[in-house]
Structure 1
């Protein structure tokens, strides 16, 4: 396994890995259901033909190789078709969550120089609010309905040929541009080439998810996130499996019943989703005998979840660790012994280490920085238009993940925490700067600091320490007002679930806020509450 081949051929387009499964016209690619119980099915052949029609339509609209296309779609078939079509052209997909607000959309569009947008009809107003401020955007395609100033998806594909010659992209041509939060400054545009998918398939899809052709796979990530590129898109479709897609809110009973109804073989969801399902009463009434492989990523899994799923469904939930900037770096792969609470081991074919401040591997049992050697094929190619932040992400030949861990005598890694101030809540990566920036825009806020606060369900929640212009204005009503304000200014999932009004904030001699002190105080406070 150590000799696993992760380097793609010189010319490679990831869509070809999907389309090779279209030779059988009846082979299922997607099984879809929404909250109302409406269902749809799509074959690989249908996805191939529809994406060819869209690719032809996009070319007719002036989209060509290297152009950036922002895609803001929920869990609908148009997301799969749009990603495939853009990649076929050799254009670049800029995945964008449906949670993004106008300010977020404008930053990404202007920073990347986006040319076209494909958006859901319920989200077009957010783009309309800022479209005149981004001069590069000139093509606006809407899915699911009609909107003034937008061309409908159906109109774009109308009359177009079902044949399209996939662009013969080089493996090092850019395919994805995912934006991810940082501790300071604006989100960073993470550059991934087509070769990323080649390496990712070899590791995550086969050795971790254990996706086999003809499996039914449910990966719950939403389009717009790097995790959607990872699992629902390339791992599932690149393996010839059928992806189950649920367009609805998380509800444990519903999820469990869908797992039973669709006879799901492989499940990939967040630790938060697993934790809530594990606490559901009456688990014995669900027949999940088809469930073979269960994995989770985003934050450490607790033993209770692992034991519960093993007891009731005879499956072992296996942990995995990776980032927007890379692929599955560390995990409990199929067939490995599970050490509950451990991240697992570094994945084959990758060069991962725990290093010290000098860039040297640390001894067994010592805490250090999780790092990835720059030679790893699935590692990102830099942050777009940001050489300084790209350089800052490396320590010599090692990329720093921003997380710390220790290695035990058996080679298993154990997560210790973030080495920076990034917050991971329910699998979402949240930069404190973005929340702080939103809060200080409120007239009542003088200064603030945002940190992660431990939470038994979400792993961590966003907590804000706020200094008010008028300390006497502190109230429960103001807490709710500030929470709603943050939801309206930035993506709603980033809002602070706890707000504490304070008179001062810990700072360095140079005036920088010491979030580490606030984090440690929160950790101690929550620990005391559980005793």
Structure 2
């Protein structure tokens, strides 16, 4: 039996279509139902569906009145506040193309991304680093004033047209700009039962920031499209407060990377969360020991999903179909998935190969911005290649066998080692540097930098230099001086040989 699914075709996305209009409709939720609560220990900022819709569509009108034209790209340099989803959805409603970026990026890092997408404007919060370069900026005060404008009529059109651009790291060291179509949000409906068990009665708390693709979909677009309530911790919330916020605000679902669940259990060996139905996990592989520990502490399950920035999560466990031990889960209903060999042919079940998904999947990206060759490299016949290895067992579940590239996974963020190395290479006294992620204790990985130099370099100075050049999640946590870096006979770095002694 071959490693390929035989799904029932998923319903086609309606035409014409607008991602923002679909999300803001809330599946018919009443205008006075709470769509979003931004949580702090002192209280919550609540937004009803009616208020959220009016503010987002008003923002769309304001952006057009500011001289932006449909098709223009706008970069979001905003924090984890309601400003982010209002700007994101308002821009899409108006026919603009928003480009979310992490608020953790330094000015030079954000500047590199701006050079790639060439935005017509930067939507800029005062406490977020502005990208280097000469770009038009729309300050947060102006953006907030736009909420009171008359609502824009959503720009309807082909569901296959560009809706937004979001960045991922690539093996070249240059972040890739991933172009997503309006239809991507419709494809996410396959997750509602295939992963979440999401209903309009749920209150879903996502522990990540809006600008992460995991949060953008799972924490924002999906709950609203379903008519549920999204709960987001306010900027600066201490992670230790999340269990209290979960209980205080009656969260029924929790979504986070495995590291967040690990932190919960470290700080709270026993958790009382009477309204929580289960947890959702993505961003990095979920260890079975963590799944078991979470169940013992809370009495609820953890359901894992696998996807990438380029393709919405498409392999998952769910309450209706829990993952078999040691597996990622199974392809969701409607997903045509295979494990393929180097020629793009499905391999027999039980055989390792590359995890691949049909290139016609509605959740798949349009391609990388202005990079047709890089886009083509991800295709093999009818398949999009994830670059990750897996095995499909007889019952259709898929085990994860690791990456076939050098991308690192730091707390759920995929980071290119070449990007980190390029940022640190000019530190005075440093000869060569190579970075990789290492396991410092069971199931905990951090970025480690291995370098050569005449003498041991000051670690505090190295750390300070990294802080000035890189977002926190890209910064090495371990520094190791070597006599020489491991290389093969052709002089190529053997990154997999970099290990802590």
1:282–1:377 Cα change, 3 Å: closer
1:371 shift after superposition: 1.5
State the match for 2:438 in structure 1.
Answer: 453
Whether 1:166 aligns to 2:154 is yes
1:457 shift after superposition: 6.8
Contact map agreement 2:173 2:417 (CA 8 A) in 1 = no
State the match for 2:133 in structure 1.
Answer: 131
Deviations, residues 46-98 of structure 1 (Å, cap 9, x unaligned)? 01111122111111111121111111222211111111110111111101010
1:395 shift after superposition: 2.7
Indicate which of 23, 31, 36 corresponds to 2:37.
Answer: 31
Deviations, residues 466-513 of structure 1 (Å, cap 9, x unaligned)? 012xx22x04xx222212212211212101111111122222444321
CA–CA separation in structure 1 for the residues paired with 2:462 and 2:390: 35
Contact map agreement 2:317 2:328 (CA 8 A) in 1 = yes
1:38 shift after superposition: 4.0
| Number of equivalences | 495
Whether 1:3 aligns to 2:5 is no
Q: TM-score, normalised by structure 2?
A: 0.94
State the match for 1:146 in structure 2.
Answer: none
More helix by share: 1
Matches within 5 A, 1:99-138: 99-123=104-128, 125-127=129-131, 130-132=132-134, 137-138=135-136
Indicate which of 482, 498, 501 corresponds to 1:502.
Answer: 482
1:14 shift after superposition: 1.4
In structure 2, stretches of 5+ residues that fail to align are 1-5
Whether 1:336 aligns to 2:321 is yes
SS at match of 1:106: helix
1:337–1:458 Cα change, 3 Å: closer
Which of 1 and 2 has higher RCO (CA within 8 Å, sep 6+)? 2
CA–CA separation in structure 2 for the residues paired with 1:453 and 1:224: 26
CA–CA separation in structure 2 for the residues paired with 1:364 and 1:439: 44
CA–CA separation in structure 2 for the residues paired with 1:479 and 1:402: 34
1:417–1:459 Cα change, 3 Å: farther
1:171 shift after superposition: 0.3
1:279–1:11 Cα change, 3 Å: same
State the match for 2:230 in structure 1.
Answer: 243
CA–CA separation in structure 2 for the residues paired with 1:44 and 1:512: 55
Contact map agreement 2:270 2:297 (CA 8 A) in 1 = yes
1:46–1:222 Cα change, 3 Å: same
Residue range with higher mean Cα deviation, 271-280 or 453-462? 453-462
In structure 1, stretches of 5+ residues that fail to align are 144-150, 526-531
1:82–1:457 Cα change, 3 Å: farther
Deviations, residues 348-378 of structure 1 (Å, cap 9, x unaligned)? 2112111111222222322221112212121
Contact map agreement 2:265 2:297 (CA 8 A) in 1 = no
1:256–1:467 Cα change, 3 Å: same
Indicate which of 170, 193, 208 corresponds to 1:182.
Answer: 170
1:454–1:107 Cα change, 3 Å: same
Matches within 5 A, 1:81-480: 81-123=86-128, 125-127=129-131, 130-132=132-134, 137-138=135-136, 140-143=137-140, 152-157=142-147, 160-161=149-150, 163-200=151-188, 202-248=189-235, 251=238, 253-284=240-271, 286=272, 288-456=273-441, 459-468=444-453, 471-472=454-455, 474-475=456-457, 478-480=458-460
Whether 1:50 aligns to 2:55 is yes
